[in-house]
Structure formats: C-alpha cells, structure tokens
C-alpha cells in the first residue's frame, strides 16, 4: 500500500496493489482539479474523498483494477488524473462457482500466540461467557408487550439488588406464529432462536416466555421448568408477577458468579462492517483482518460473514479453505444465496447502498474486495450455515446476509461473545447481548463521533499508524472488553438494536 503524507493539505492517494490502475483520494473534502501528487500525477477534475482517480489512461472496455482484481470495465475512454465514477464502470460477471479452486493455497503458518488471556465467566456446559446477562427468550411476538412491561419493572426494582448481573434482555423478535413453519427454509429462524436462548453470555440460565397457541411451541426452545406460557396465567397482573418471580430466581444464581482467567482461545469473535466506504478495505478491514489473524493464532474462534459482500471475492477465499469439503460448503452457501435473490427477482447489484456509493464504492465487486480484508490471511477452517452454532476453533465463514442486524443476530446464534464492526459512513449500531467494538475507517469519523467510535483505523490512511499497530490495538481492546476492564461506547450509553431474524420462508 502506498500512502504519501499525514497532513490534509498535501494531496494523498492510496493504491493497494502494484497492478492497480486506480487509487482512492485520502484528503477530507476531496481534491480539486490541478492537485498534484509527489509521483507526478495531476488531477484533471475534482475528485471527492474516497473516490477513485485513474493512475493512467484507460481504453474503453479496459479492466479497472483495484486490490489487484478487476472491479469492472471502463465504459468509455478515461483519462489519467480523472474521476473514475460509478457511471463509467460496467460490472464484471461474478466468479463462476463451479470452477473455483477448493483448497490448497499454501499459507505460511504464523506461530501460535501464547499467554493471552481474558477474565470471563465459566458456564456449566463448558462454554465461557464474557457478560453475565439474564436473557429472556420469546417464542412468539405476541408476548412482547407483557414481557417489556415486566422487564422494565425488573430493571427498576430488581436489578439494583444484583450488582454482578449486567443486564436483563428481552429477546423480542417477529417470528413464532403467522409463519410457514413447515417450509424448508423455516429451519433458519427456528435454530437461530434455539441457539440464542442458550447464548454463552447468559450464564447457563434459560428462560422462555411463550403464549401457548403459537406455531413455534416453547418446548422446542427450553425445558418445561424454564418456560412460562401466558395462556396458563390468570390475567395480566399474574403474568407480570410470574415473569418477575422466574427472573428473580435466575438473577440470584447469576449474581453469585465471578470472573475467572481463561486463555484467549475460549473467545468467539464476530466480524462485520456497515456503512462502508472506500476506506473500509484499506484501513479498518485490514486492521481487523490483522487482529483476526492474532486471535486465530491465539486459538480463538473468529467468524466473518455477509454472503452478498463475499460473493464477488469468493475466488480469493475458496483456495484458503483447509480442505475441499470446506471449500464446497462455502460454494454451497453462495449458491443458496444466488438462488434466494433470484427467486425474489433481485441480484447482487442490490448492494451497495447510496451511502456506500457516496463513500466511493462503485459497485458490489469493489465493496466485496474490501469486505473480505476482514478475514485476514488465516486458513478458513469451517463454514457455519445461517442460525447454526459454531463448534470449531479458527477462522470460520458464518453464512449470513450482509444486513447489519440480521448478520449480528445470526452471529449471536453462532455463539459470538463480542463483535468487531467496521464503519466508514458511521452507524450507532449495538447489541444488548454482546459488546460491539466500532472501528472507524477515517479520522474524520472519529472526530465527528468521538463518543461512539471505539477504535480509529483512519490513521492507516494518513500514514500515522500501520495496519499492524491498529491490529494489535484492537486485539488488546477485545481482551479488555471481554474481561470487563473496558466498555464499548454502545454499552456505555446502553444503546442496542433488536434482534432481526433471517426468515427466508413465507409468512402466512
């Protein structure tokens, strides 16, 4: 990667790969016509921050190369020093899924990292948690109003008596009834709820509030002792009293728990990006990828996701599969999603968003190449289908949509303790069950949102820090947050998003 200076008034671009014929403008506010770079390049028109400049003259139909990969073809002649806008780029076809190398890329194994630990909570089933939260699962949306009423009272009246418990979370969602529960794809939302009910940050305490007549019968989620069916109760007041009583039993047990030291190998970390821009792939995501490699070297489980933002870079991933079976699993998930989009008369051009484009991302190919940088360089040890629990160590591909909330919900179902979230445009995203570490791609975002951004990777673009430095900073921050020594901004403010289930089956 080539960067040139730290100060905003010195024209600066980032070229990622030696073969690239475009680079992105670093300077906040963009650069004017006439701006000259130390290499001799001069802009022949204004280019906004994060957008691409042509490093040489491009013929019509010539490949446009970024990250060493073709992100599209020039629709017309593009002069050196001009703005390579979205409208000038035609999309390449996606990688052909039946012709991909399935494994076998030789990866120089990094040495294991020893001695890194965190302070967590031991669960009876052998798993470890990093939070001590009472999670109250719902089997159907009907119970939301009553449960929210009860949880408000629990937080006000009970929680202060149990200072070792971090929170009480109502796991509301919009599944459970009025859905085609026998349809083949219904397996996804059902197993998602099942796995979330027993999340490791809930300390082994399970509690389910159901209605009674719903399609997703509560006994599919928990044992009878852990279930409250509202239709068995004598009215609203009794419902609320019973929820509070069941909650208090569990709060008492949770309150007795204490943190213990565990090796970093017990951690399950999810990676995601949202509100991406052209910097995501050169600052935040590579730094996250570096931290991911450190976590994998320390023996932890690390998941990257977002099928629609991986699809166009999948040819870079299948060779990294530890064996052909994992390679085939990766391709299977891509094919499932191709078919899912096709059924809905949509395609990959549904991504990126207007904000992504404003941030310089011309199309989903460019976005994907930046997105997969989060996965670092480790071998891909396994694939987790949507809603399933991760059962392996190492780097895993958890197949989820790219929607932040749906991806977050599915990574929680997979057992994620903590999520690392890269953002370029900025989003105040959070989860109640697991801390979300927000990493900014640009210095300007940190300056604007200094009470929301946890780690800034914008310094990589300006040359103030290296990918390695930010990667290590993030790695240490993850261990600190997992140990309760540091808090994310979202947790400090107590802001979080609701669960958002992936239900590709019909509703009825």
Contacts of 248 (CB under 8 A, 6+ apart): 154, 158
Q: Closest Cα partner for 393 from 267, 262, 204, 261?
A: 267
**Shortest Cβ distance from residue 381 to its own copies (Å)?**
26
Q: What one-character DSSP code corresponds to residue 420?
A: E
Residue with smaller CB distance to its own copies, 81 or 386: 386
Residue with smaller CB distance to its own copies, 214 or 388: 214
**Shortest Cβ distance from residue 182 to its own copies (Å)?**
6
Contacts of 126 (CB under 8 A, 6+ apart): none
Backbone angles phi, psi at 485, to 5 degrees: -80, -30
Cα gap 233→230, rounded to integer Å: 5
Residue with smaller CB distance to its own copies, 85 or 257: 85
**Shortest Cβ distance from residue 338 to its own copies (Å)?**
11
Residue with smaller CB distance to its own copies, 21 or 368: 368
Residue with smaller CB distance to its own copies, 297 or 442: 442
Q: Closest Cα partner for 329 from 350, 301, 307, 346?
A: 307
Residue with smaller CB distance to its own copies, 83 or 175: 175
**Shortest Cβ distance from residue 466 to its own copies (Å)?**
27
Which stretch of DSSP H or E encloses residue 357?
A: helix 354-358
Cα gap 115→415, rounded to integer Å: 23
Residue with smaller CB distance to its own copies, 110 or 493: 493
Cα gap 57→44, rounded to integer Å: 12
Contacts of 141 (CB under 8 A, 6+ apart): 172, 173, 174, 175, 176, 177
Residue with smaller CB distance to its own copies, 336 or 472: 336
**Shortest Cβ distance from residue 356 to its own copies (Å)?**
7
Give the strand pairing for 167-171 and 133-138.
Answer: parallel
Residue with smaller CB distance to its own copies, 322 or 505: 505
Q: What one-character DSSP code corresponds to residue 98?
A: G
Judged by phi (left if over 0) then psi (alpha if -120 to 50, else beta), residue 12 lies in: beta
**Shortest Cβ distance from residue 500 to its own copies (Å)?**
5
**Shortest Cβ distance from residue 365 to its own copies (Å)?**
15
**Shortest Cβ distance from residue 126 to its own copies (Å)?**
32
Q: Closest Cα partner for 85 from 99, 69, 101, 71?
A: 71
Q: What is the DSSP string of 177-246?
A: SSB-TTSGGGHHHHHHHHHHHT-GGGTT---EEE-SS-SS-GGGTS-GGGEEEGGGSSHHHHHHHHHHHH
Cα gap 156→162, rounded to integer Å: 12
Residue with smaller CB distance to its own copies, 191 or 393: 191
**Shortest Cβ distance from residue 181 to its own copies (Å)?**
7
**Shortest Cβ distance from residue 255 to its own copies (Å)?**
25
**Shortest Cβ distance from residue 361 to its own copies (Å)?**
11
**Shortest Cβ distance from residue 47 to its own copies (Å)?**
19
Cα gap 178→174, rounded to integer Å: 10
Cα gap 440→184, rounded to integer Å: 39
**Shortest Cβ distance from residue 258 to its own copies (Å)?**
29
Residue with smaller CB distance to its own copies, 82 or 192: 192
3-state secondary structure of 477: helix
Give the strand pairing for 380-384 and 22-25.
Answer: unpaired
Task: Please say whether the beta carbons of 488 and 478 come within 8 A.
Answer: no
Q: What is the DSSP string of 366-413?
A: HHHHHHGGGGTTS-EEEEE-TTPPP--SEEEEE---S-HHHHHHHHHH
Secondary structure in 3-state letters for 358-376: HCCCCCHHHHHHHHHHHHC
Residue with smaller CB distance to its own copies, 107 or 350: 350
Q: What is the DSSP string of 447-466?
A: HHTTTT-SEE-GGGTTTSS-
Residue with smaller CB distance to its own copies, 172 or 419: 172
């Amino acid at each position: 990667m080539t960067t040139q200076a730290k100060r905003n008034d010195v024209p600066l671009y980032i070229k990622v790969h030696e073969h690239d014929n475009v680079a992105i403008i670093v300077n906040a506010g963009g650069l004017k016509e006439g701006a000259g770079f130390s290499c001799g390049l001069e802009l022949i028109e204004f280019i906004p921050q994060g957008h691409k400049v042509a490093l040489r003259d491009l013929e019509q139909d010539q490949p446009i190369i970024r990250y060493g990969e073709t992100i599209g073809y020039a629709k017309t002649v593009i002069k050196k020093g001009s703005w390579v806008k979205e409208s000038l780029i035609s999309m390449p076809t996606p990688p052909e899924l039946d012709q991909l190398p399935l494994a076998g890329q030789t990866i120089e194994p990094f040495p294991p990292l020893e001695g890194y630990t965190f302070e967590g909570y031991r669960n009876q089933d052998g798993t470890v948690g990093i939070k001590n939260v009472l999670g109250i699962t719902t089997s159907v949306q009907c119970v939301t109003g009553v449960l929210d009423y009860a949880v408000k009272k629990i937080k006000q009246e009970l929680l202060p008596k149990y200072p070792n418990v971090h929170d009480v979370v109502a796991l509301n969602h919009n599944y459970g009834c009025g859905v085609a529960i026998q349809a083949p794809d219904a397996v996804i939302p059902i197993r998602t709820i099942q796995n979330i009910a027993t999340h490791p940050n809930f300390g082994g305490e399970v509690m389910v509030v159901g209605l009674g007549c719903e399609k997703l019968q509560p006994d599919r989620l928990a044992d009878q002792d852990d279930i409250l069916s509202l239709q068995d109760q004598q009215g609203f007041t009794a419902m609320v009293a019973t929820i509070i009583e069941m909650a208090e039993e569990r709060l008492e047990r949770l309150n007795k728990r204490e943190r213990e030291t565990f090796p970093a190998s017990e951690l399950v970390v999810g990676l995601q990006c949202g509100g991406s821009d052209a910097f995501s792939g050169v600052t935040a995501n590579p730094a996250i990828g570096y931290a991911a490699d450190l976590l994998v070297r320390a023996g932890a489980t690390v998941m990257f996701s977002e099928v629609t933002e991986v699809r166009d870079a999948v040819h870079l991933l299948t060779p990294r599969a530890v064996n052909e079976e994992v390679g085939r699993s990766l391709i299977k998930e891509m094919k499932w999603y191709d078919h899912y989009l096709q059924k809905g008369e949509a395609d990959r051009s549904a991504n990126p968003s207007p904000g992504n484009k404003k941030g310089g991302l011309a199309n989903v190919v460019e976005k994907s190449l930046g997105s997969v940088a989060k996965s670092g360089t480790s071998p891909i040890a396994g694939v987790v289908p949507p809603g399933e629990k991760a059962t392996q160590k190492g780097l895993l591909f958890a197949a989820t949509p790219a929607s932040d909330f749906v991806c977050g919900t599915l990574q929680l179902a997979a057992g994620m303790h903590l999520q690392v979230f890269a953002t370029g445009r900025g989003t105040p995203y959070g989860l109640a069950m697991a801390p979300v570490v927000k990493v900014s791609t640009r210095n300007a975002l940190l300056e604007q949102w200094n009470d929301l951004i946890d780690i800034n990777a914008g310094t990589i673009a300006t040359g103030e820090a290296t990918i390695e430095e930010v990667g290590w900073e993030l790695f240490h921050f993850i261990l600190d947050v997992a140990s309760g020594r540091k808090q994310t901004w979202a947790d400090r403010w107590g802001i979080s998003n609701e669960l958002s289930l992936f239900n590709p089956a019909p509703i009825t």
